[in-house]
A and B are shown apart, each in its own frame.
Chain A
Amino acid sequence: EPEVTQTPSHQVTQMGQEVILRCVPISNHLYFYWYRQILGQKVEFLVSFYNNEISEKSEIFDDQFSVERPDGSNFTLKIRSTKLEDSAMYFCASSAGRKGALHFGNGTRLTVT
């Protein structure tokens, strides 16, 4: 069964550094998402992306965050200057639209020290 893949599985970075989280969505999907989960808390929506542009974003997704689909397969989340509070599990997800389910990747655990 096709799946969403995320790399790396765990990333440690120093406060103030830039970090890029990578995702390969399911190949025939058109909608891409990033969600995050701070340890022990609920999963929160960050951003959705369709047709090469952001379609919706949450209050969490401020100017420090950006997303990009640099080629036909990858979907990336960049955090420009990481803060301690950015430490969380970041989940990429994709869907074919209303016709299908929303499938998540295994997540990237980001630790900011």
Chain B
Amino acid sequence: AQKVTQAQTEISVVEKEDVTLDCVYETRDTTYYLFWYKQPPSGELVFLIRRNSFDEQNEISGRYSWNFQKSTSSFNFTITASQVVDSAVYFCALSDLSGGSNYKLTFGKGTLLTVNP
């Protein structure tokens, strides 16, 4: 069975601080995808990144960066110089490919990030 653990339930930072959101996953599959989604107070799920299990290169997109460590089954997300607009719930998710090209995502419980001015 797959599992995604986001141990940090809530994080509160002051604007311009860097913050890292942790994600640890469990799967028996050798091929899988990892995702991060942002859920702002308005409720929608905003796609941030998809990473496949064969690609361990870290990725940077503006103020966002992701650190994928297969050896520790972690896929952590860092926001540099946080802004108030970053305040949201962030979900990490895992999808194996046992269903072919289906995306059956297993989500973590989410981390509520509050960035204070």
Residues of A within 8 A of B (CB): 31, 33, 35, 41-45, 48, 50, 55-56, 89, 91, 93, 95, 97-98, 101-107, 109
Task: Tell me if B102 and A50 are in contact (CB < 8 A).
Answer: yes
Contact with A along B96-115 (1 / 0, CB 8 A): 01011111111111100000
Q: How far is the CA of A70 from the CA of B15 in the complex (A)?
A: 48
Tell yes or no: B64 within 8 A of A by CB. no
The 5 closest A-B pairs by CB, nearest first: A97-B101, A104-B45, A106-B44, A43-B107, A102-B103
- The dominant DSSP class at the B interface is loop
> B104: which of A45, A101, A107, A109 is its contact (CB, 8 Å)?
A45
What is the bound-complex CA distance between A41 and B91, given in angstroms?
11
Q: Mark B31-52, 1 if CB is under 8 A from A, else 0.
A: 0000101000011110100100
The answer on a CB contact under 8 Å between B102 and A42 is: no
A-chain residues with CB within 8 Å of residue B106 when the two chains form the complex:
45
- Please tell me if the beta carbons of B103 and A55 are within 8 angstroms of each other in the complex: no
Contact A104/B43 with A35-B105, A44-B107 known, Cβ cut-off 8 Å? no
